[in-house]
Structure 1
Amino acid sequence: MNSVELMVKEHDNILRMLKVVRKACMNILNGGEINYDDFNNMIDFVRKYADAHHHGKEEKFLFKEMQLKLGKLGENLITHGMLVEHDYGRLYMNDLTEALHRVKNGDEESKLDVISNAIGYASLLTRHINKENDAVYKFGENNLPADVMEEINKKSEEFENEAEKQGIQKHYIDMLENLEKKYLA
């Protein structure tokens, strides 16, 4: 599996988590209590699997080469598009974490902020993933020289193997499956 195929597969896992996030928010909207452990797991998944693991490969390998080798169009697409959206996602997660803390400390109105930040993140990432799968990855694959793509694939494979030794993929996919059983059953 090359690096782009791997990243698309990871997108599928992230989209699965976004469905869980939406269901957890629907539960709050319907008057249910916030399950802080579940939300903390969702945030952990986003920060460590979607951001550090998945975005890590994008930012360190594919996007870096697109910025360096694909001229102004590549630079603008990555710097003013994809990386900005990654930062917005991080902001949503920070704001969600703060909102959960406020609710836990008795601020009922902050439930609105929990829902808005979680749903904002889910909406942002859904659109972001569609852009990457349908345009950004294809632009990179079609325009980066073959030797550069081979190097990206090699670095991504090394990154992936190191993460596998640490059990990152298994841990977060197990977490995802457990949350799906709870929220999507």
Structure 2
Amino acid sequence: MSAIQLMVDEHKNIKRMLGVIRKYCFKVLKNEDVDYKDFYKIIDFVRNYADKHHHGKEEDYLFNRMIEEIKGPAEKLVRQGMLVEHDFGRLYMQNLEKALIAFEKGEEEAKLDIIANAIGYTDLLYRHIEKEDDVVYKFAERSLSKETLEQLDADCEKVEEEAKEKGIQDKYLNLINELESKI
């Protein structure tokens, strides 16, 4: 499988978690029974699967190669677009974690920040994924040399194998299934 197709497939998993996040937030909004500890599981997924595992491949391999080989338009797209959005996603997760801690300390109003940051993240990521799938990845496939794409495939396959040995993919796909079963 090509690295680009792998990243598109990972986006499908991430979008499943975005659906979970939205449903959890709706339960909070309706004041339904919610296991707030599940939000920590969501943060773990975002930080370790969506960000470290998936964004790691983009940032360490794909985006760097786009900047080096394509230059101008790729550099602007990556540095002023994709990387900025990755950082906004990280900020949403930091703020979500702070809100959860405040809620655990009895600050009922922190529910607003839980919903705001979780929904902000989902909105950002849905749009981000659409841009990557429809624009960035296709631009990379059209513009990078065959050799660069082959090296990208090899590098990402190595990352996947190392992650598989650690059980990363199974852990986080099982987590999605677990949380989907609760909503």
TM, length-normalised to structure 2:
0.98
Match of 1:100 in 2: 100
Match of 1:171 in 2: 171
Moved over 4 A (4+): none
Match of 1:19 in 2: 19
| Separation of aligned partners in 1, 2:128 and 2:173 | 21
| Separation of aligned partners in 1, 2:26 and 2:106 | 20
Match of 2:130 in 1: 130
1:39 pairs with 2:39: yes
Match of 1:181 in 2: 181
User: 1:33 offset after TM fit, Å?
Assistant: 4.2
Q: Give per-residue Cα distances to partners, 1:93-138, cap 9 Å, x unaligned.
A: 0000000000110111111000000000000000000000000000
Match of 1:109 in 2: 109
Report the number of matched residues: 183
SS in 2 for 1:114: helix
User: 1:37 offset after TM fit, Å?
Assistant: 2.0
| Separation of aligned partners in 2, 1:169 and 1:102 | 31
Match of 1:64 in 2: 64
**Higher mean displacement: 35-44 or 47-56:** 35-44
Amino acid at match of 1:61: Y
User: 1:69 offset after TM fit, Å?
Assistant: 1.1
For structure 2, which runs of at least 5 residues remain unmatched after alignment?
Answer: none
User: 1:36 offset after TM fit, Å?
Assistant: 2.3
| Separation of aligned partners in 2, 1:115 and 1:83 | 24
Match of 1:48 in 2: 48
SS in 2 for 1:107: coil
TM, length-normalised to structure 1:
0.97
